[in-house]
Amino acid sequence: MARFMDVHHGMVGITPEEFREAHDADLAIQDEEMVSFEHAWADPDEGVVYCLSEAPSAEAVQRIHQRAGHPADEIHAVPLDL
């Protein structure tokens, strides 16, 4: 499995509750695409949300986000980490 960091823009003012609901929506269906969302971060002031996942492809990550109602604006492979 590969790791991916995806980015969502336009989330200015997202509340902790909205952030949790969006993440839970991904978790509820992630197994259907063999995706595992590992962690998510949000900056409500900048309106940016980041999600780290393991998945078979960037397309699988995007399908989960689309079905959950918040498609990613960017998805980047993360082939190296420390």
Can you give the residue ranges of every domain in the chain? Answer: 2-77
Under the banding of pLDDT at 50, 70 and 90, the label for residue 4 is: very high
Per CATH, the number for 2-77 is 3.30.70.3090
Which CA distances in Å does 16 have to 11, 40, 82?
Answer: 12, 12, 29
The dihedral sign for the CA sequence 7, 9, 13, 14: negative
Residue 73: DSSP 8-state: S
| Global confidence as pTM | 0.95
Among the listed residues 36, 25, 39, 28, the one whose alpha carbon sits nearest the alpha carbon of residue 60:
36
pLDDT at position 69 is 97
pLDDT in tens, 11-57: 999 999 999 999 999 999 999 999 999 999 999 999 999 999 999 99
